[in-house]
Structure 1
Amino acid sequence: MTDSTALSILRDEITVYPGPTGSKGHPSWVLHDPAPNQFFRLDWPTYEILCRWDYRSPELIVDAVNRETTLEITLEDVESVAVFLNTHCLVKRLDFADAMELARRKQASKKAWWLDLMHRYLFFRVPLINPDRFLERWLFIGIFLFSRGFTLTTGIVLLFSLIKVGQQWEVFQSTLLDTFSVKGFMTYAFALVSVKVFHEFGHGFMAKRYGCRVPVMGVAFLVMFPMPYTDTNEVWKISDRRKRLAVSTAGLRLELLVAVWATLLWVILPDGAIRSAVFFLASVSWVLSVLLNISPFMRFDGYFVLMDWLDYPNLHARSSALARWRIRRLLFGLDEPPPETLSLGFQRFLVVFAILTWTYRFILFIGIAILVYFKFTKVLGLLLFVVEIYWFILAPVIKEAKLWWERRAEIWAQLRTRATIMVTLGFLLVFVVPLPKPVTSEALMRPVRSTQLVVPEAARVKALAVSDGAEVVAGSQLVELVSPMLLLNQQMAAMRAETATRRHQAASLDKERAGSPRLANDQRESRLAELERANREVTKLSHIAPYHGTFRLNNPDIAEGEWLAKDTVVGTLVDADSGMEVLTWIDESAIDRVSIGAKATFFSQSYGDVISGRVVEIGSDAINSLSFPAMASVFGGDILAREKAGELIPERATYRVVVELDGTGRNRVTSVHYGRLKIGARPASLAGQYLRIVVLSLIRELNP
């Protein structure tokens, strides 16, 4: 900047307000641009420079500031202020060159149509109303709701309501469970909208109370998810930090007021529509206030409260810049100054906060992307999934990587860079090199041949021919049951068969009086088949050993004369000499690494033994359902499965694997035992495994 440089003139509508005092006692000011309704925090040197901006000469401004204040500024300080004013269009454009500069900026700010479409899909705002006059007219309501007396009364009501809810806790729980229906969720949606309206008017009333204009209320859409918003930018005019905090917390406070008073109404009202309505209001308000609004990692109330409490504007952007600086210093040892001068303790806090914010947003945006994928058709859902992953997660990483590339010469000159590269290559080596890794899964050990004795119909134990654990030979009587229902069915079937047989005989002798012989014969055959089925059911009551083995009762305390329900398993006949096998189920991500003949080791939970074996069978097709419930995740097992129509359906393609165990003696078992199975598998890299999971998922999802 030279002596002849004439500074541009500030726009007439630009105003400057006193700002809050900094944590170290430094004064600050706030510059307001009313056109976009933007606010900028100014430090002391910048304010003094702007106060003398009409001098139009950098040298005169520097001389005046240094002479009239205790500050010592330079021409570079004035130049940085000029750049700031021009960048944010805070100066007048008086000549053709200025107009061309504005046109150039406008053209540069234009995005490609697809980029603009992507941005509008990810986030856009819809202004709905200008609530300023309404808030002015009804401000007395807001003043009353936030008054000290009403707040104290609400606290007393809260204690009373919590005590009464505790006394009716079972009723509260049952009411909550009853709301888990389509109608209940629709009512929750209506209650959510109502509570969010209260929330936004809370911000509006409090901002109006302190003299701020509230020009807009509307709905913002984050990945098509609606979130109401209120424009309270003018709170930056307020120099008192406590008042700004009051505006930031006003929505949360009003939600809590709704929750407390709705809870009180639920406690005192009789059953009916009104009580149900206030229950929805209370539950939604409590959940939103506690779980959503207090989070400082997104731009919800918790973020603005923390920002005002710390008196640190643009907390997310500035903490992220500081964290990126710290990462560059850690990885490459770059000796560059931090983005801003802060105390060491506050620096560490901001870096940790930025990392927590990145982690929270990563998990949140991954979840949103998956939700969007399943919400739309497969092709469109996959496209939108990729868009969100790129915009929210990959784009910031790519931006930082570009900065590293631009500074590659400086980065490569640092010794720390070489150490970082070596460590990174070591991790990549572990990631891509195939390593020996066994396939481990939950498994069960059982005899190769076993038979369960199941009660076909409710029956009484007539005789227990053998005791629990007894050795039996083929043809031995095991258990004899008596079922009055099956015996009655047998008798009725016998009577109907006898009647049908007589009618058939009569029809053969006298066709005119007894009817058609063919029809009579069909009826006789039907009744005889019915009798045969009844006889088979009765025969099932007498259990005979089909082979030599060991008989084990499921309930050793069972006694003669005891009644058993239908489908009760009385016991199991086990042929221990047939050998043992282990069954396990392996999902598609690892099944290709398992082969016939592979060595396996079973770790029994019951015996504590370690038994070796080998793989003898691998299912060629994925199973349709899981026949052992203990293996399913819904019952504490490892296999992710869901219940559908009484069956357990695996969520991923899962294959049955059979292992034949070695040895006898202690390895003889007469029941099912659970444990863990380790199978020696082909080496595989972590990268290959993850790539296989991704490819299989894409194939599964894209196939109709």
Structure 2
Amino acid sequence: MAPNATESLPPLRQDLQLHAGPTDAGGAPSWVLHDPVVHRFYEISWPAFEILSRWAMREPDAVVTDVCARTTLHIGREDIEELRAFLEQNFLLDQHGPGHTARLQRAGAMQRTGKLQWLLKHYLFFRVPLFRPTALLAWLSPKMTWCFHPVFWKLLVFLALAALVGVSFQWDAFVGTFVGYAGWTSALGILVSLGVAKIAHELGHALAAHRHGCRVPQMGVAFMIMMPVLYTDTTDAWKLPSRKARMQIAAAGVATELMLAVVATWAWMWLPDGPVRAGAFMLATTTWVLTLAVNLSPFMRFDGYYLLSDAVGIANLHERAFALGRWKLRRVLLGWCDPAPEDLGRRTTGFLIGFAYLTWIYRLVLFLGIAFLVYHLFFKALGLVLLAVELGWFVWRPISQELKQWWQGRSGHRWTRSSMLSTAGLLLALLALCVPWPGGVRAPAVLGADQSQWLYAPMAAQIKSLDTGYGQSVSQGQTVVALTSADLDQRLAAASVREQSMQWKLAQQPLNADLRGLGPALREQWAAAKAELSGQLALRDQLEVRAGISGRVMKVSPGLQPGVWVRRGEPLVQVVADGAARIDAYVVNEDMPRIQLGDAARFVPEDWRLPAVNCQVASLDRVALSHLEHAFLGSPHGGSLPASVDAQGLTVPLHAVFRVRLDRCDGEATPALQEKLGVVAIGATGRGVVGGWFRKAVELWNRESGL
């Protein structure tokens, strides 16, 4: 309810503080109103300052008359009522009574949250104050005045350029430094260097604030995703009238770390190898790069945000940009003709709208990353719950709130061309995401002959002869490679002598008393010698490496020629049978339900000069592969399937992968004597994108929760 025209202005709170502020974009002065109870600052305009200066008059008409008479401003009673509403809304008036008490109780109730809601808001980020640095800064500041002198920074720039020149002469050693560090001593040096960098960063903020006359009430440690980071409370910087001074305070932390990086680079060039040099290397490289990447980002409330806010002269940059971004979004998509939240000029408004959209995209990616990081940091059950909480609170909650505003405001706006076009586009997009589109299953595949055989060396031996070469035909049972082994020949000769000796003794046993004394044991010894001889003869037969199928020799191991030694199990020759081709496709688990026996498939070779091949699904593996038979399909060898290499050298897929065998290929695939890599498209049954996301989410939940 609007106040009565004759009602006097209520008194202001006596503890409020007013400070001179920077000039705005138009050159007009501004002031900062400080509420010490909640430690909050409000930037007010020149008209608001003139009204507050005369607030003690208590009569609105008298205030209007005096401002218009003594200044060049032209204000009206509505300006006073607008300022009064602002003061009342933020509890800056000295009011009493049941109505005011009820308002305070309602505001307190709105700010109070339940234990669960408080935990959801604060478990990812909370602060722990450690100490009050006022005495330390008072002692340290006079001793660090040289850090703020322009000559020092000019000298530092010169030293930085000289350090870069020096490092360029030792570039190979500099790049390979971190790889050479190992052990707990180097790790200790790295941890100490990180701690020194972050302490120096916060001291830089504190010293800069103290130099400009700001109070630094506390320093401490904040926990972000349970990772400790130091912080410094420099909120009093809002009292400064100079934006340049505030920017110096915001940039002091990064500047301090860059100074450390220059000093550490010189230290690295002169120090011997060891933990101290490892720490200097970290200070010279990683620490300041991470600081620039994190602290200078304007999309979160870090140093970069306050630097940008002061650089463009816009306080509450995020809130004002978001308000304009939402206004523009509703105007374009829904055709709403509501006035802009504020008139800042075309150029500034466009900048803030673009900044809002970039911030939203950045935060979406960041919160998604945090959600999955939290999921991996905790055990499965808690990780899944926290993942759902992160996605719901930080991603879905703001989106749902905006959609709620759209729904609530539908009655106050009419359908326009923009709203109809955006609604139609939204419906088409949802339809495209939900409707299964034809396209089938795509998977990496290998085209080869239906039958092929690798011939391996049965033992360590020397090649005696190579009876065939590349492309030559061989028949089943034909010797392809003849091997010889002097060690096997010796063992065979010794086994033959033992067998003949035992056979002679067995023949002489009836005539020799000593041999008769051995009894049946002599025959058993002869049987063992005979078995040993048979085994050696069998091994000699294996030295004749024969083809198990009829076909052509398509691969010969490099360097294979008579006289060359080969180890046991070494591949020698591949024989590929003439005839039909087959294709092995490697399909991930989620696509297996979409494939049926007899489905049509089309293989497209990686080599664009080769023709495509049409086949049919012949068989489906029901058990996931323990390793990839065609290792080159795995990611460690440049393939598309995520995999790793185990201790035995096998390529093991990281996710469940099944083999799908294709046959009945057309005539183009008949001479498939060499394996060809490509992609196969199986069937024509597609699926919607939303359905795929939902199935993946359900599979993830079931797999990780153990249901």
1:550 aligned residue (544, 552, 555) = 552
Take 1:468 and 1:446, find their aligned partners in 2: how far apart are those partners? 17
Does 1:624 pair with 2:626?
yes
Shift of 1:181: 7.5
Does 1:701 pair with 2:704?
yes
Contact 1:457 1:486 in 2 (8 A): no
Take 2:505 and 2:138, find their aligned partners in 1: how far apart are those partners? 97
Shift of 1:539: 4.8
> In structure 2, do the counterparts of structure 1 residues 194 and 540 end up closer, same or farther at CA, with 3 Å as the change threshold?
farther
308-317 or 202-211: bigger deviation: 308-317
Take 1:331 and 1:357, find their aligned partners in 2: how far apart are those partners? 19
Contact 2:557 2:571 in 1 (8 A): no
Contact 1:613 1:660 in 2 (8 A): yes
Shift of 1:454: 2.7
Contact 2:582 2:665 in 1 (8 A): no
Amino acid at match of 1:334: W
Contact 2:435 2:687 in 1 (8 A): yes
Amino acid at match of 2:555: L
1:426-476, CA deviations, whole angstroms, 9 ceiling, x for partnerless residues? Answer: 122222222211212211011121111234555443211012110011221
Take 2:242 and 2:630, find their aligned partners in 1: how far apart are those partners? 66
Q: Which SS does the other structure have where 1:582 is aligned?
A: strand
Quote the residue 1:691 is aligned against.
694
405-414 or 534-543: bigger deviation: 534-543
Shift of 1:186: 6.5
Shift of 1:503: 13
Contact 1:458 1:563 in 2 (8 A): yes
Quote the residue 1:45 is aligned against.
47
Q: Which SS does the other structure have where 2:590 is aligned?
A: coil
Quote the residue 2:338 is aligned against.
336
Quote the residue 1:139 is aligned against.
141
Quote the residue 1:682 is aligned against.
685
Alignment of 1:242-253 (within 5 A): 242-253=244-255
Shift of 1:187: 5.3
Shift of 1:253: 0.6
Alignment of 1:472-483 (within 5 A): 472-482=474-484
Does 1:611 pair with 2:613?
yes
Alignment of 1:411-422 (within 5 A): 411-422=413-424
2:112 aligned residue (95, 110, 114) = 110
> In structure 2, do the counterparts of structure 1 residues 187 and 642 end up closer, same or farther at CA, with 3 Å as the change threshold?
farther
> In structure 2, do the counterparts of structure 1 residues 560 and 70 end up closer, same or farther at CA, with 3 Å as the change threshold?
same
Quote the residue 1:66 is aligned against.
68
Unaligned runs of 5+ residues in structure 2 are: none
Amino acid at match of 1:593: R
237-246 or 521-530: bigger deviation: 521-530
Take 1:262 and 1:372, find their aligned partners in 2: how far apart are those partners? 34
Take 2:539 and 2:258, find their aligned partners in 1: how far apart are those partners? 66
Amino acid at match of 2:280: V
Q: Which SS does the other structure have where 2:445 is aligned?
A: strand
1:98 aligned residue (91, 97, 100) = 100
693-702 or 494-503: bigger deviation: 494-503
Amino acid at match of 1:346: T
TM-score by length of 1: 0.91
Does 1:120 pair with 2:114?
no
207-216 or 395-404: bigger deviation: 395-404
Contact 1:259 1:281 in 2 (8 A): yes
Take 2:702 and 2:448, find their aligned partners in 1: how far apart are those partners? 36
Unaligned runs of 5+ residues in structure 1 are: none
1:309-342, CA deviations, whole angstroms, 9 ceiling, x for partnerless residues? Answer: 1121222221111111110000111111111112
> In structure 2, do the counterparts of structure 1 residues 158 and 322 end up closer, same or farther at CA, with 3 Å as the change threshold?
same
> In structure 2, do the counterparts of structure 1 residues 559 and 39 end up closer, same or farther at CA, with 3 Å as the change threshold?
same
Alignment of 1:2-81 (within 5 A): 2-81=4-83
Take 1:60 and 1:252, find their aligned partners in 2: how far apart are those partners? 51
Contact 1:7 1:58 in 2 (8 A): yes
Amino acid at match of 1:298: M
Amino acid at match of 1:586: V
Q: Which SS does the other structure have where 2:553 is aligned?
A: strand
Amino acid at match of 1:109: Q
Amino acid at match of 2:689: L
Contact 1:142 1:206 in 2 (8 A): no
Amino acid at match of 2:383: G
Take 1:703 and 1:507, find their aligned partners in 2: how far apart are those partners? 73
Pairs aligned (count): 703
1:129 aligned residue (123, 128, 131) = 131
Alignment of 1:196-215 (within 5 A): 196-215=198-217
Quote the residue 1:292 is aligned against.
294
Contact 1:593 1:681 in 2 (8 A): no
| CA RMSD in angstroms, aligned pairs only | 3.4
Does 1:650 pair with 2:628?
no
Shift of 1:564: 4.3
Shift of 1:389: 1.2
Does 1:232 pair with 2:238?
no
Does 1:590 pair with 2:591?
yes
1:466-490, CA deviations, whole angstroms, 9 ceiling, x for partnerless residues? Answer: 1211001122111123456766777
TM-score by length of 2: 0.91
Q: Which SS does the other structure have where 1:478 is aligned?
A: strand
Take 1:263 and 1:486, find their aligned partners in 2: how far apart are those partners? 65
Take 2:639 and 2:279, find their aligned partners in 1: how far apart are those partners? 40
Shift of 1:157: 2.5
Shift of 1:355: 1.3
Take 1:509 and 1:260, find their aligned partners in 2: how far apart are those partners? 101
> In structure 2, do the counterparts of structure 1 residues 16 and 654 end up closer, same or farther at CA, with 3 Å as the change threshold?
same
Take 2:150 and 2:540, find their aligned partners in 1: how far apart are those partners? 81
> In structure 2, do the counterparts of structure 1 residues 474 and 415 end up closer, same or farther at CA, with 3 Å as the change threshold?
closer
Shift of 1:689: 2.0
Contact 2:469 2:556 in 1 (8 A): no
Take 1:130 and 1:638, find their aligned partners in 2: how far apart are those partners? 56
Shift of 1:492: 8.6
1:262-295, CA deviations, whole angstroms, 9 ceiling, x for partnerless residues? Answer: 1211111122332223223323323323322222
Take 2:626 and 2:145, find their aligned partners in 1: how far apart are those partners? 64
Take 1:308 and 1:484, find their aligned partners in 2: how far apart are those partners? 87
Take 1:599 and 1:38, find their aligned partners in 2: how far apart are those partners? 69
Quote the residue 1:170 is aligned against.
172
Take 1:485 and 1:186, find their aligned partners in 2: how far apart are those partners? 56
> In structure 2, do the counterparts of structure 1 residues 49 and 530 end up closer, same or farther at CA, with 3 Å as the change threshold?
farther
1:545-571, CA deviations, whole angstroms, 9 ceiling, x for partnerless residues? Answer: 122110123346643333445654322
Contact 2:602 2:614 in 1 (8 A): yes
1:84-124, CA deviations, whole angstroms, 9 ceiling, x for partnerless residues? Answer: 22222222244444334323322232222221221121332
1:36-71, CA deviations, whole angstroms, 9 ceiling, x for partnerless residues? Answer: 322111111111111111122222222222222222
Amino acid at match of 2:389: V
Take 1:571 and 1:294, find their aligned partners in 2: how far apart are those partners? 61
Quote the residue 1:261 is aligned against.
263
Take 1:260 and 1:511, find their aligned partners in 2: how far apart are those partners? 99
> In structure 2, do the counterparts of structure 1 residues 694 and 15 end up closer, same or farther at CA, with 3 Å as the change threshold?
same
Q: Which SS does the other structure have where 1:662 is aligned?
A: coil
1:190-238, CA deviations, whole angstroms, 9 ceiling, x for partnerless residues? Answer: 4333211111111111111111111111122333333321111111122
Shift of 1:647: 3.1
Q: Which SS does the other structure have where 1:440 is aligned?
A: strand
Amino acid at match of 1:418: M
% of aligned pairs identical?
33
609-618 or 288-297: bigger deviation: 288-297
Quote the residue 1:157 is aligned against.
159
Take 2:303 and 2:552, find their aligned partners in 1: how far apart are those partners? 69
Take 1:317 and 1:351, find their aligned partners in 2: how far apart are those partners? 11
Contact 2:35 2:92 in 1 (8 A): yes
Alignment of 1:315-464 (within 5 A): 315-456=317-458, 459-464=461-466
Take 1:508 and 1:239, find their aligned partners in 2: how far apart are those partners? 125
